[in-house]
């Protein structure tokens, strides 16, 4: 498997280009578990095969480091768009990408034939409990108490094509994420599990976020999580609808536009390329 290691604000992935390949492995989950291992494999938060699509320029699948498949990932779609453009596969400044969450459209900001930043139309946030999905009565989940591990958390639920549980705290660095994250991710009220974002509001224009990703654990950044955090911040009255979301390795700019779409702008980088043997799968 020829691969390109990429990262978006430290959220790292193995891009596997199968667009022109005749042989496509039938066990991407198994490959993901082994290849993403940081001691015995390449090391990454996820494996992302790029495939041909009948409805878009490209199809992107996302496999977490535990082998589970995610509907969407904001950081890797920026990386994929940069890869597609700079390698001459799709030479457009707007690329249609098929995902399990629908067709997403990254827009490339190009300087001297190189992609400097990527702005992605992430679609509309879904706020009804059934859309998250989350068990309970119909309606939105905004600042709702939820017990996990003997602690009451006030949660706001948002779907960006994948589920998010956003919790506002005074200081995110004081949160025992390795303990709280798994309890909330696998909480019985989330039938498909959930991503978990702890958010510290700095002011009306900026928040700081730590994330526990479903199927991957704590990561340095999460694009859909940053979008969910921005939506939750706005509907709780903490911020405006345009804000910066600070993460461990940098900042994503999120805009909740008048058309109800969420736009995410941020960087992406290639790290290295290589070959990974998959003959034993």
Which residue numbers are catalytic? 73, 222
- Tokens representing residue 162 in the block: 């994948």
Q: Is 214 annotated as a binding residue?
A: yes
Please tell me whether 64 is known to bind a ligand: yes
2 marked as binding residue = no
Q: How many CB atoms lie within 10 A of CB 109?
A: 12
Q: Is 195 annotated as a binding residue?
A: yes
* Distance between CA atoms of residues 13 and 5, nearest Å: 6
162 in a labelled binding site: yes
> From CA 161, how far away is CA 70, in angstroms rounded?
9
213 is in an annotated binding site: yes
Residue 154, annotated as binding a ligand: no
| 119 has binding-site annotation | no
- The annotation places the binding site at 11, 64, 74-75, 162, 195, 213-214, 223-224
- The annotation places the binding site for substrate at 11, 64, 74-75, 162, 195, 213-214, 223-224
């Amino acid at each position: 498997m020829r691969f390109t290691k990429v990262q978006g604000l430290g959220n790292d992935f193995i891009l596997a280009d199968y667009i022109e390949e005749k042989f496509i492995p039938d066990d991407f989950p198994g490959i993901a578990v082994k290849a993403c291992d940081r001691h015995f494999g390449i090391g990454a938060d996820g494996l992302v095969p790029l495939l041909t699509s009948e409805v878009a320029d490209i199809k992107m699948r996302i496999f977490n480091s535990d082998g589970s498949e995610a509907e969407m990932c904001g950081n890797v779609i920026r990386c994929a768009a940069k890869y597609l453009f700079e390698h001459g596969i799709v030479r457009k400044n707007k690329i249609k990408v098929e995902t399990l969450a629908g067709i997403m459209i990254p827009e490339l900001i190009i300087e001297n034939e190189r992609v400097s930043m990527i702005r992605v139309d992430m679609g509309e946030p879904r706020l009804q409990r059934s859309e998250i999905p989350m068990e309970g009565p119909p309606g939105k989940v905004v600042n709702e108490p939820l017990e996990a591990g003997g602690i009451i958390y006030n949660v706001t639920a948002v779907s960006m094509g994948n589920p998010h549980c956003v919790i506002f705290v005074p200081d995110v660095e004081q949160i025992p994420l390795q303990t709280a994250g798994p309890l909330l991710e696998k909480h019985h009220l989330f039938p498909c599990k959930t991503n978990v974002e702890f958010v510290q509001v700095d002011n009306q224009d900026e928040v700081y976020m730590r994330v526990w990703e479903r199927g991957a654990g704590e990561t340095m950044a999460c694009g859909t999580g940053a979008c969910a955090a921005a939506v939750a911040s706005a509907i709780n009255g903490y911020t405006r609808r345009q804000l910066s979301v600070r993460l461990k390795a940098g900042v994503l700019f999120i805009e909740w536009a008048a058309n109800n779409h969420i736009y995410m702008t941020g960087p992406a980088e290639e790290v290295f390329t290589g070959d990974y043997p998959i003959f034993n799968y």
